[in-house]
Amino acid sequence: MSETRHTRLLIIGSGPAGYTAGVYASRAMLEPILVQGIQPGGQLTITTDVENWPGDASVMGPDLMVRMEAHAKETGTEVIGDHIQSLDLSVRPFRAEGDSGTTYTADAVVLATGAQAKWLGLPSEEHFKGFGVSACATCDGFFYRGAEIVVVGGGNTAVEEALFLTKFASKVTLIHRRDSLRAEKIMQQRLFKNPKVEVLWDHSIDEVIGSSDPRGVEGVRARHVKTGEVTEIPCKGFFVAIGHAPATELVKDQLEMHNGGYVKVQPGTTKTSIPGVFAAGDLTDHVYRQAVTSAGMGCMAALDAEKFLAAMDGEDIPEAGAYAAPASGPVSSPESAAE
Ligand code: FAD
Ligand code: NAP
Protein backbone atom coordinates (compact mmCIF):
# COMPACT_ATOMS: atom_id res chain seq x y z
CA MET A 1 0.00 0.00 0.00
CA SER A 2 1.36 3.43 -0.88
CA GLU A 3 2.06 5.85 1.96
CA THR A 4 3.87 9.13 2.46
CA ARG A 5 6.60 9.40 5.07
CA HIS A 6 7.99 12.78 6.05
CA THR A 7 11.42 13.10 7.62
CA ARG A 8 13.70 16.00 8.44
CA LEU A 9 16.60 14.17 6.81
CA LEU A 10 16.47 11.49 4.14
CA ILE A 11 19.70 9.58 3.57
CA ILE A 12 19.84 7.72 0.27
CA GLY A 13 22.38 4.90 0.23
CA SER A 14 23.71 2.37 2.72
CA GLY A 15 27.46 2.29 2.11
CA PRO A 16 30.01 3.74 4.55
CA ALA A 17 28.88 7.29 3.65
CA GLY A 18 25.17 6.64 4.23
CA TYR A 19 25.53 4.70 7.49
CA THR A 20 28.00 7.20 8.93
CA ALA A 21 25.62 10.04 8.03
CA GLY A 22 22.93 8.03 9.83
CA VAL A 23 25.02 7.70 13.00
CA TYR A 24 25.82 11.42 13.15
CA ALA A 25 22.33 12.60 12.17
CA SER A 26 20.70 10.34 14.76
CA ARG A 27 22.98 11.65 17.47
CA ALA A 28 21.94 15.16 16.40
CA MET A 29 18.34 14.08 17.08
CA LEU A 30 17.30 14.45 13.44
CA GLU A 31 15.59 11.03 13.40
CA PRO A 32 16.79 10.32 9.86
CA ILE A 33 15.32 7.80 7.47
CA LEU A 34 17.95 5.88 5.50
CA VAL A 35 16.90 4.07 2.31
CA GLN A 36 19.30 1.24 1.54
CA GLY A 37 18.89 0.68 -2.18
CA ILE A 38 19.41 -2.59 -4.01
CA GLN A 39 22.85 -3.14 -2.52
CA PRO A 40 22.43 -2.90 1.25
CA GLY A 41 25.88 -2.16 2.66
CA GLY A 42 27.23 -0.89 -0.67
CA GLN A 43 30.37 -1.91 -2.53
CA LEU A 44 32.19 -3.45 0.43
CA THR A 45 29.62 -6.23 0.50
CA ILE A 46 31.13 -7.62 -2.70
CA THR A 47 34.68 -7.83 -1.43
CA THR A 48 36.47 -10.05 1.06
CA ASP A 49 39.22 -8.72 3.37
CA VAL A 50 39.39 -5.00 4.01
CA GLU A 51 42.81 -4.22 5.42
CA ASN A 52 42.74 -0.45 5.63
CA TRP A 53 39.76 0.29 7.83
CA PRO A 54 41.35 1.90 10.90
CA GLY A 55 40.95 -0.23 13.99
CA ASP A 56 40.70 -3.50 12.07
CA ALA A 57 43.92 -4.94 10.66
CA SER A 58 41.66 -7.17 8.60
CA VAL A 59 37.89 -7.32 8.44
CA MET A 60 35.55 -8.93 5.95
CA GLY A 61 33.76 -6.23 3.92
CA PRO A 62 30.26 -7.68 4.44
CA ASP A 63 30.88 -8.01 8.21
CA LEU A 64 32.03 -4.42 8.46
CA MET A 65 28.87 -3.23 6.73
CA VAL A 66 26.63 -5.33 8.99
CA ARG A 67 28.32 -3.61 11.95
CA MET A 68 27.84 -0.17 10.39
CA GLU A 69 24.16 -0.87 9.80
CA ALA A 70 23.72 -2.04 13.39
CA HIS A 71 25.49 1.09 14.64
CA ALA A 72 23.27 3.38 12.58
CA LYS A 73 20.15 1.60 13.84
CA GLU A 74 21.39 1.60 17.42
CA THR A 75 21.77 5.37 17.38
CA GLY A 76 18.23 5.83 16.02
CA THR A 77 18.41 5.80 12.22
CA GLU A 78 15.37 4.22 10.63
CA VAL A 79 16.85 1.92 8.00
CA ILE A 80 14.43 1.01 5.23
CA GLY A 81 14.86 -1.69 2.57
CA ASP A 82 13.64 0.27 -0.41
CA HIS A 83 15.14 1.76 -3.58
CA ILE A 84 14.54 5.36 -4.62
CA GLN A 85 13.39 5.44 -8.24
CA SER A 86 12.95 9.22 -8.58
CA LEU A 87 13.87 12.29 -6.63
CA ASP A 88 12.40 15.77 -7.13
CA LEU A 89 14.70 18.45 -5.77
CA SER A 90 12.68 21.31 -7.29
CA VAL A 91 10.01 21.18 -4.57
CA ARG A 92 10.12 21.74 -0.80
CA PRO A 93 10.01 19.47 1.02
CA PHE A 94 12.07 17.35 -1.38
CA ARG A 95 10.18 14.38 -2.72
CA ALA A 96 11.44 10.86 -3.37
CA GLU A 97 9.49 7.91 -4.74
CA GLY A 98 10.44 4.42 -3.57
CA ASP A 99 10.01 1.19 -5.54
CA SER A 100 7.85 0.03 -2.62
CA GLY A 101 5.26 2.68 -3.46
CA THR A 102 6.25 4.82 -0.47
CA THR A 103 6.74 8.54 -1.07
CA TYR A 104 9.39 10.11 1.13
CA THR A 105 9.32 13.86 1.73
CA ALA A 106 12.29 15.48 3.41
CA ASP A 107 13.52 18.90 4.51
CA ALA A 108 17.08 17.87 3.70
CA VAL A 109 18.67 15.03 1.77
CA VAL A 110 22.03 13.29 2.01
CA LEU A 111 22.92 11.59 -1.24
CA ALA A 112 25.23 8.63 -0.67
CA THR A 113 24.46 6.48 -3.69
CA GLY A 114 28.10 5.59 -4.31
CA ALA A 115 29.32 4.04 -7.50
CA GLN A 116 28.64 1.10 -9.80
CA ALA A 117 30.93 -1.16 -11.78
CA LYS A 118 32.00 0.01 -15.23
CA TRP A 119 31.85 -2.31 -18.24
CA LEU A 120 33.96 -2.41 -21.38
CA GLY A 121 30.93 -1.78 -23.57
CA LEU A 122 31.49 -4.69 -25.96
CA PRO A 123 28.38 -6.39 -27.44
CA SER A 124 29.94 -9.79 -26.65
CA GLU A 125 30.47 -8.74 -23.03
CA GLU A 126 26.78 -7.86 -22.80
CA HIS A 127 25.81 -11.13 -24.49
CA PHE A 128 27.69 -13.24 -21.95
CA LYS A 129 26.84 -11.25 -18.79
CA GLY A 130 25.69 -13.82 -16.25
CA PHE A 131 26.99 -16.61 -18.52
CA GLY A 132 30.69 -16.28 -17.70
CA VAL A 133 31.07 -12.50 -17.68
CA SER A 134 30.96 -10.90 -14.23
CA ALA A 135 32.07 -7.80 -12.32
CA CYS A 136 32.07 -9.45 -8.90
CA ALA A 137 34.58 -12.14 -8.00
CA THR A 138 33.21 -12.70 -4.52
CA CYS A 139 29.74 -13.24 -5.96
CA ASP A 140 30.67 -15.50 -8.86
CA GLY A 141 34.19 -16.88 -8.31
CA PHE A 142 32.85 -20.08 -6.81
CA PHE A 143 31.36 -21.10 -10.18
CA TYR A 144 34.81 -21.39 -11.74
CA ARG A 145 36.44 -24.05 -9.57
CA GLY A 146 39.32 -25.65 -11.46
CA ALA A 147 38.75 -23.43 -14.49
CA GLU A 148 40.84 -20.75 -16.20
CA ILE A 149 39.82 -17.17 -15.55
CA VAL A 150 40.68 -13.82 -17.12
CA VAL A 151 40.47 -10.52 -15.24
CA VAL A 152 40.76 -7.17 -17.00
CA GLY A 153 41.93 -4.00 -15.23
CA GLY A 154 44.96 -2.62 -13.44
CA GLY A 155 43.68 -1.02 -10.23
CA ASN A 156 43.18 -2.32 -6.71
CA THR A 157 39.91 -3.98 -7.62
CA ALA A 158 41.42 -5.94 -10.51
CA VAL A 159 44.36 -7.14 -8.43
CA GLU A 160 42.14 -8.03 -5.49
CA GLU A 161 39.73 -9.88 -7.74
CA ALA A 162 42.55 -11.76 -9.46
CA LEU A 163 44.06 -12.84 -6.13
CA PHE A 164 40.71 -13.87 -4.74
CA LEU A 165 39.95 -15.90 -7.86
CA THR A 166 43.15 -17.95 -7.46
CA LYS A 167 41.29 -19.72 -4.63
CA PHE A 168 39.07 -21.33 -7.25
CA ALA A 169 40.80 -21.15 -10.61
CA SER A 170 43.50 -23.33 -12.09
CA LYS A 171 44.99 -20.16 -13.61
CA VAL A 172 44.18 -16.44 -13.59
CA THR A 173 45.35 -14.17 -16.37
CA LEU A 174 45.23 -10.48 -15.57
CA ILE A 175 45.06 -8.38 -18.72
CA HIS A 176 46.00 -4.73 -18.46
CA ARG A 177 46.13 -2.09 -21.16
CA ARG A 178 49.40 -0.58 -19.95
CA ASP A 179 52.74 -1.92 -18.71
CA SER A 180 52.28 -0.98 -15.05
CA LEU A 181 49.50 -1.35 -12.54
CA ARG A 182 47.92 1.45 -10.56
CA ALA A 183 47.10 -0.89 -7.66
CA GLU A 184 48.84 -0.38 -4.31
CA LYS A 185 52.40 -1.73 -4.23
CA ILE A 186 51.64 -4.29 -1.50
CA MET A 187 48.84 -5.71 -3.65
CA GLN A 188 51.11 -5.84 -6.68
CA GLN A 189 53.71 -7.77 -4.69
CA ARG A 190 51.12 -10.38 -3.71
CA LEU A 191 49.96 -10.66 -7.29
CA PHE A 192 53.41 -11.15 -8.80
CA LYS A 193 54.28 -13.76 -6.14
CA ASN A 194 51.20 -15.88 -6.82
CA PRO A 195 52.13 -18.88 -9.01
CA LYS A 196 48.60 -19.13 -10.44
CA VAL A 197 48.70 -15.61 -11.85
CA GLU A 198 50.00 -14.49 -15.22
CA VAL A 199 49.90 -10.85 -16.29
CA LEU A 200 49.41 -9.91 -19.91
CA TRP A 201 50.65 -6.34 -20.31
CA ASP A 202 49.71 -3.80 -22.97
CA HIS A 203 46.61 -5.61 -24.15
CA SER A 204 43.03 -4.52 -24.60
CA ILE A 205 40.04 -6.81 -25.00
CA ASP A 206 38.57 -7.03 -28.49
CA GLU A 207 35.92 -9.61 -27.84
CA VAL A 208 34.57 -12.21 -25.47
CA ILE A 209 34.15 -15.49 -27.30
CA GLY A 210 31.96 -18.42 -26.37
CA SER A 211 29.35 -20.99 -27.19
CA SER A 212 25.68 -20.32 -27.73
CA ASP A 213 24.14 -23.63 -26.66
CA PRO A 214 24.55 -23.68 -23.75
CA ARG A 215 25.55 -20.03 -23.60
CA GLY A 216 28.99 -19.74 -21.99
CA VAL A 217 32.35 -18.03 -22.22
CA GLU A 218 35.21 -19.94 -23.80
CA GLY A 219 37.84 -17.23 -24.01
CA VAL A 220 38.75 -13.67 -24.85
CA ARG A 221 40.45 -12.10 -27.82
CA ALA A 222 43.08 -9.62 -26.66
CA ARG A 223 44.98 -7.15 -28.84
CA HIS A 224 48.46 -5.78 -28.19
CA VAL A 225 47.95 -2.03 -27.97
CA LYS A 226 51.23 -1.26 -29.78
CA THR A 227 51.71 -4.06 -32.30
CA GLY A 228 48.03 -4.88 -32.93
CA GLU A 229 48.79 -8.59 -32.58
CA VAL A 230 45.76 -10.59 -31.48
CA THR A 231 45.98 -13.38 -28.89
CA GLU A 232 43.20 -15.72 -27.83
CA ILE A 233 43.17 -16.69 -24.18
CA PRO A 234 40.94 -19.57 -23.13
CA CYS A 235 38.82 -19.03 -20.01
CA LYS A 236 35.48 -20.00 -18.53
CA GLY A 237 35.12 -16.84 -16.47
CA PHE A 238 35.83 -13.27 -17.54
CA PHE A 239 35.87 -10.68 -14.76
CA VAL A 240 35.68 -7.00 -15.62
CA ALA A 241 37.38 -4.87 -12.96
CA ILE A 242 38.02 -1.54 -14.67
CA GLY A 243 36.65 0.82 -12.06
CA HIS A 244 33.40 2.32 -11.05
CA ALA A 245 31.17 5.18 -12.19
CA PRO A 246 29.24 7.43 -9.78
CA ALA A 247 25.57 6.51 -9.34
CA THR A 248 24.03 9.86 -10.24
CA GLU A 249 20.89 8.76 -12.13
CA LEU A 250 18.61 10.35 -9.53
CA VAL A 251 20.16 13.80 -9.75
CA LYS A 252 22.06 14.16 -13.01
CA ASP A 253 19.74 16.82 -14.45
CA GLN A 254 19.18 18.57 -11.14
CA LEU A 255 22.58 19.11 -9.56
CA GLU A 256 25.83 20.55 -10.83
CA MET A 257 28.29 17.83 -11.83
CA HIS A 258 31.99 17.84 -12.62
CA ASN A 259 34.91 15.55 -13.46
CA GLY A 260 32.89 13.43 -15.84
CA GLY A 261 29.71 13.05 -13.85
CA TYR A 262 30.53 13.29 -10.14
CA VAL A 263 28.25 15.46 -8.01
CA LYS A 264 29.98 18.76 -7.36
CA VAL A 265 30.17 19.99 -3.78
CA GLN A 266 31.23 23.33 -2.37
CA PRO A 267 34.92 23.18 -1.39
CA GLY A 268 35.52 21.67 2.01
CA THR A 269 31.84 20.80 2.52
CA THR A 270 29.22 18.36 1.23
CA LYS A 271 26.88 21.13 0.01
CA THR A 272 25.66 20.64 -3.54
CA SER A 273 24.27 23.29 -5.88
CA ILE A 274 20.86 22.99 -4.17
CA PRO A 275 20.65 24.13 -0.55
CA GLY A 276 19.57 21.31 1.71
CA VAL A 277 20.97 18.62 -0.57
CA PHE A 278 24.29 17.14 0.52
CA ALA A 279 26.48 14.58 -1.22
CA ALA A 280 28.99 12.19 0.33
CA GLY A 281 31.22 9.31 -0.69
CA ASP A 282 32.06 7.83 -4.07
CA LEU A 283 29.21 9.74 -5.68
CA THR A 284 31.16 12.96 -5.29
CA ASP A 285 34.77 11.78 -4.98
CA HIS A 286 36.63 10.76 -8.10
CA VAL A 287 40.03 10.78 -6.39
CA TYR A 288 40.15 8.93 -3.06
CA ARG A 289 37.15 6.54 -3.29
CA GLN A 290 37.85 4.67 -0.07
CA ALA A 291 35.61 3.37 2.67
CA VAL A 292 37.21 5.63 5.24
CA THR A 293 36.98 8.79 3.12
CA SER A 294 33.36 7.96 2.27
CA ALA A 295 32.58 7.53 5.95
CA GLY A 296 34.31 10.85 6.66
CA MET A 297 32.17 12.59 4.07
CA GLY A 298 29.07 10.93 5.51
CA CYS A 299 29.93 12.53 8.84
CA MET A 300 30.42 15.91 7.16
CA ALA A 301 27.11 15.60 5.31
CA ALA A 302 25.18 14.94 8.52
CA LEU A 303 26.84 17.89 10.24
CA ASP A 304 26.17 20.13 7.22
CA ALA A 305 22.54 18.95 7.15
CA GLU A 306 22.14 19.62 10.86
CA LYS A 307 23.33 23.22 10.39
CA PHE A 308 21.06 23.65 7.38
CA LEU A 309 18.02 22.37 9.28
CA ALA A 310 18.80 24.52 12.31
CA ALA A 311 19.00 27.58 10.04
CA MET A 312 15.82 26.51 8.25
CA ASP A 313 13.96 26.48 11.55
CA GLY A 314 14.76 30.14 12.07
CA GLU A 315 15.44 31.62 8.67
CA ASP A 316 14.48 31.58 5.00
CA ILE A 317 15.90 28.82 2.83
CA PRO A 318 18.71 30.13 0.60
CA GLU A 319 17.99 30.27 -3.12
CA ALA A 320 19.03 27.29 -5.25
CA GLY A 321 22.60 27.77 -6.40
CA ALA A 322 23.51 29.92 -3.40
CA TYR A 323 26.04 27.33 -2.29
CA ALA A 324 27.56 26.73 -5.69
CA ALA A 325 31.27 27.48 -5.91
CA PRO A 326 32.00 30.83 -7.62
CA ALA A 327 32.87 30.25 -11.27
CA SER A 328 36.10 32.22 -11.04
CA GLY A 329 37.00 31.52 -7.41
CA PRO A 330 39.45 28.92 -6.16
CA VAL A 331 37.92 25.49 -6.21
CA SER A 332 39.11 22.87 -3.80
CA SER A 333 37.85 19.44 -4.76
CA PRO A 334 39.22 16.01 -3.98
CA GLU A 335 41.17 16.52 -7.21
CA SER A 336 42.82 19.81 -6.19
CA ALA A 337 43.25 18.60 -2.63
CA ALA A 338 45.26 15.66 -3.93
CA GLU A 339 47.55 17.81 -6.03
P1 FAD B 1 28.73 2.58 -1.86
O2 FAD B 1 29.47 1.67 -0.97
O3 FAD B 1 28.91 2.49 -3.33
O4 FAD B 1 27.18 2.42 -1.51
C5 FAD B 1 26.21 3.05 -2.29
C6 FAD B 1 24.86 2.75 -1.69
O7 FAD B 1 23.86 3.53 -2.37
C8 FAD B 1 24.43 1.30 -1.81
O9 FAD B 1 23.93 0.88 -0.56
C10 FAD B 1 23.28 1.33 -2.83
O11 FAD B 1 22.31 0.34 -2.58
C12 FAD B 1 22.72 2.73 -2.57
N13 FAD B 1 21.96 3.29 -3.68
C14 FAD B 1 22.37 3.54 -4.96
N15 FAD B 1 21.34 4.03 -5.69
C16 FAD B 1 20.28 4.10 -4.84
C17 FAD B 1 18.94 4.51 -4.99
N18 FAD B 1 18.46 4.97 -6.16
N19 FAD B 1 18.09 4.42 -3.93
C20 FAD B 1 18.55 3.98 -2.73
N21 FAD B 1 19.85 3.61 -2.51
C22 FAD B 1 20.67 3.65 -3.56
N23 FAD B 1 37.76 0.76 -0.08
C24 FAD B 1 38.59 0.67 0.96
O25 FAD B 1 38.77 1.66 1.68
N26 FAD B 1 39.18 -0.52 1.27
C27 FAD B 1 38.99 -1.63 0.55
O28 FAD B 1 39.57 -2.68 0.85
C29 FAD B 1 38.11 -1.57 -0.56
N30 FAD B 1 37.87 -2.66 -1.29
C31 FAD B 1 37.00 -2.58 -2.33
C32 FAD B 1 36.75 -3.74 -3.07
C33 FAD B 1 35.88 -3.69 -4.12
C34 FAD B 1 35.62 -4.95 -4.93
C35 FAD B 1 35.24 -2.47 -4.47
C36 FAD B 1 34.26 -2.43 -5.61
C37 FAD B 1 35.51 -1.32 -3.74
C38 FAD B 1 36.39 -1.36 -2.68
N39 FAD B 1 36.69 -0.23 -1.93
C40 FAD B 1 37.52 -0.32 -0.85
C41 FAD B 1 36.07 1.07 -2.21
C42 FAD B 1 34.87 1.27 -1.23
O43 FAD B 1 34.04 0.14 -1.28
C44 FAD B 1 34.08 2.52 -1.61
O45 FAD B 1 34.95 3.63 -1.59
C46 FAD B 1 32.95 2.78 -0.62
O47 FAD B 1 32.11 1.65 -0.48
C48 FAD B 1 32.09 3.96 -1.08
O49 FAD B 1 31.10 4.14 -0.13
P50 FAD B 1 29.77 4.95 -0.45
O51 FAD B 1 29.02 4.99 0.84
O52 FAD B 1 30.08 6.23 -1.11
O53 FAD B 1 28.97 4.12 -1.52
P1 NAP C 1 40.60 2.36 -10.70
O2 NAP C 1 41.59 2.61 -9.64
O3 NAP C 1 39.94 3.50 -11.38
O4 NAP C 1 41.32 1.43 -11.78
C5 NAP C 1 40.66 1.05 -12.96
C6 NAP C 1 41.64 0.22 -13.80
O7 NAP C 1 40.94 -0.26 -14.95
C8 NAP C 1 42.82 1.04 -14.27
O9 NAP C 1 43.98 0.26 -14.19
C10 NAP C 1 42.45 1.37 -15.71
O11 NAP C 1 43.57 1.43 -16.56
C12 NAP C 1 41.62 0.17 -16.11
N13 NAP C 1 40.62 0.55 -17.11
C14 NAP C 1 39.72 1.55 -17.04
N15 NAP C 1 38.93 1.56 -18.13
C16 NAP C 1 39.36 0.53 -18.92
C17 NAP C 1 38.95 0.02 -20.18
N18 NAP C 1 37.93 0.56 -20.84
N19 NAP C 1 39.61 -1.04 -20.68
C20 NAP C 1 40.64 -1.61 -20.01
N21 NAP C 1 41.08 -1.18 -18.80
C22 NAP C 1 40.43 -0.11 -18.26
O23 NAP C 1 39.38 1.45 -10.17
P24 NAP C 1 39.31 0.33 -9.03
O25 NAP C 1 40.45 -0.58 -9.12
O26 NAP C 1 37.93 -0.23 -9.09
O27 NAP C 1 39.42 1.17 -7.69
C28 NAP C 1 38.45 2.20 -7.43
C29 NAP C 1 38.75 2.84 -6.09
O30 NAP C 1 38.45 1.91 -5.04
C31 NAP C 1 40.21 3.23 -5.97
O32 NAP C 1 40.31 4.45 -5.31
C33 NAP C 1 40.79 2.12 -5.15
O34 NAP C 1 41.90 2.53 -4.37
C35 NAP C 1 39.61 1.71 -4.25
N36 NAP C 1 39.78 0.32 -3.86
C37 NAP C 1 40.61 0.09 -2.80
C38 NAP C 1 40.89 -1.20 -2.46
C39 NAP C 1 41.82 -1.43 -1.31
O40 NAP C 1 42.17 -0.47 -0.65
N41 NAP C 1 42.24 -2.64 -1.05
C42 NAP C 1 40.36 -2.26 -3.19
C43 NAP C 1 39.56 -1.99 -4.29
C44 NAP C 1 39.29 -0.68 -4.63
P45 NAP C 1 44.67 2.59 -16.43
O46 NAP C 1 45.50 2.21 -15.25
O47 NAP C 1 45.39 2.51 -17.71
O48 NAP C 1 43.89 3.85 -16.25
Residues 28, 127 within the same domain: no
Of 208, 240, 272, which marks where a domain is finished? 240
- Full residue range of the structural domain in which residue 303 is found: 4-117+244-324
85 near 101, Cβ under 8 Å? no
> Is 66 within the bounds of a domain?
yes
Cα 6 to Cα 9, 94, 264: the distances in Å are 9, 10, 26
The Cα angle at residue 99 between residues 20 and 114, in degrees rounded to 5: 35
Q: Is 270 in the pocket of ligand 1 (CB under 6 A)?
A: no
Relative to the alpha carbon of 220, which ligand is closest?
2
Q: Is 61 in the pocket of ligand 2 (CB under 6 A)?
A: no
pLDDT averaged over 10-residue windows placed end to end, the chain, 339 residues? 92 98 98 98 89 94 97 98 98 98 98 94 94 89 95 96 96 98 97 98 98 95 98 98 95 93 96 98 92 97 98 66 39 41
Residues 206, 299 within the same domain: no
Dihedral Cα 66, 72, 77, 80, nearest 10 deg: -20
This prediction has a pTM of 0.83
Among protein residues, the one whose CA lies closest to atom 37 of ligand 1: 43
> Can you give the pLDDT at residue 2?
80
> Is 334 within the bounds of a domain?
no
> Is 338 within the bounds of a domain?
no
Q: Of 108, 66, 72, 102, whose CA–CA distance to 86 is shortest?
A: 102
Q: Of 51, 219, 96, whose CA–CA distance to 149 is shortest?
A: 219
Q: Is 140 among the catalytic positions?
A: yes
Q: Of 245, 39, 242, whose CA–CA distance to 156 is shortest?
A: 242
